[in-house]
Structure 1
Amino acid sequence: MNQYRTETMSIDEYFQIRENSDALLEYIDGFVYMSPSPSTKHQRISRKLENKFEDFIEGNPCELFHAPYDIELKDEKVNGTKIVIPDISIICNKDGFTDARYVGVPSLIVEILSPSNQSYDLITKLNLYMNFGVKEYWIVNPMLNAVTVYALNDENMYEQHDMQKSKGEVTSRLFEGFGIDIEDIFKS
């Protein structure tokens, strides 16, 4: 994940740049970050995960959104403006939908790592999502064929709920009974 500009900018400047750019740009407290274009493997993994999640949440009030879709993280306990574009978001509280984006906190977020954005997703976004109260955060690592699932505990801190590499089933704490075979996700 690369910074778009080294100096800070206002939210209005950010929206102005977004209107005139096809780049995936995220805004965190005045700084703008640019996501790399997804690879073929990234897109395949994303599609397979979307299909598995969609099948599971069919008929319940949650809804899945995939990138590019803006999430403006909003919680009265956290200051600043943060607009992120997760690879997959599952939103169960429908109050925050606007025509342009979702304003609030998704229940579950999936980020698929790229070689250039690993520390951003593993550190910056993990802490951001935990502070905002995203109940579950899945980090998918295509380089290692691994999936790590973090879930909020009673102290509102992330703890590793599950981790699988190369084979096995990875499960959700939030969606009881939901599991995905790792080999299905990573095979071409």
Structure 2
Amino acid sequence: METPEEKSLLKEPDITSGRHTYADYLTWEMEEMVELIKGKVFRKAAAAPRRIHQKLAGNLHTELNLFLKGKKCEAYIAPFDVRLPVSSKKDDKVHTVVQPDICVICDPEKLDERGCIGAPDLVVEVLSPGNKQLELQHKYEVYEESGVKEYWLLDPEGQTLLIYTLKVGKYEASRLMTSGDIAKSSAIPVFELDLEEFFREIK
């Protein structure tokens, strides 16, 4: 248990101090998770995600792991740092570090002991009341710009899925899918998700 004096020594980001880098991010010691998007600090909610959020993310991660067994692609679940460099992979030049709920990486060269550096092939974000603006605006932009091939937005409350597929550098949205639909991934060929069965499991 940390004393008040020890807590006062923990380094937290000064969100007013301009543009931060991954090198800065590595020095921070915080009780809640943060993400860095284009140099700006975004704090995640201090409270744990809702149970339905965790169950949905965990179940989908399990489905992906079973499907990918023996294949070169690997699935990871948050917390897992994904660094999205623009011009340089050096720590002090990377301005975006995110923690997707789930990501799949098929290029082993992008993996190191600290996570992933470069765009995953597939990113899945699970919506919750506190993160919708972050996922729908800021993360959408950096995922598109960095070349994430496929971006899934899952809404556990509405039991819907929206898939963004990268085509010629821009995302194209699927129709809004729900129970009764079969979601098919283009980034992970042959992977399919029966949404009726999947959402039934999280009730």
Same fold (TM over 0.5): yes
- Shorter chain as denominator, the TM-score bin is 0.7 to 0.9
Alignment correspondent of 2:152: 138
Could you say if the C-alpha distance between residues 119 and 61 of structure 1 is closer, same or farther in structure 2, counting changes exceeding 3 Å? same
- Does structure 1 conserve the Cα–Cα contact (< 8 Å) formed by 2:83 and 2:94? no
For the residue of structure 2 that corresponds to 1:16, the secondary structure is coil
For the residue of structure 2 that corresponds to 1:151, the secondary structure is strand
TM superposition shift of 1:6? 4.2
Paired letter, 2:163:
V
- Does structure 1 conserve the Cα–Cα contact (< 8 Å) formed by 2:104 and 2:120? yes
Supply the distance in 2 between the matched residues of 1:56 and 1:98 (Cα, whole angstroms).
23
For the residue of structure 1 that corresponds to 2:66, the secondary structure is helix
TM superposition shift of 1:152? 0.8
Alignment of 1:107-186 (within 5 A): 107-153=121-167, 155-161=168-174, 163-186=176-199
State the superposition RMSD in angstroms. Answer: 2.2
Supply the distance in 2 between the matched residues of 1:142 and 1:35 (Cα, whole angstroms).
18
Alignment correspondent of 2:66: 55
For the residue of structure 2 that corresponds to 1:127, the secondary structure is helix
Alignment correspondent of 1:16: 27
* 1:12-54 CA distance string (max 9 Å, x none): 443222xx22321101232111223321000110111111111
Could you say if the C-alpha distance between residues 116 and 32 of structure 1 is closer, same or farther in structure 2, counting changes exceeding 3 Å? same
Instruction: State the TM-score, normalized to the length of structure 2.
Output: 0.81
Unaligned runs of 5+ in 2: 1-12
Count matched residues.
Answer: 182
Could you say if the C-alpha distance between residues 122 and 99 of structure 1 is closer, same or farther in structure 2, counting changes exceeding 3 Å? same
Alignment correspondent of 1:28: 37
TM superposition shift of 1:179? 1.4
* 1:97-142 CA distance string (max 9 Å, x none): 2222211111100000111110110121111101100000000011
Identity %: 29
TM superposition shift of 1:92? 0.6
Structure with bigger gyration radius? 2
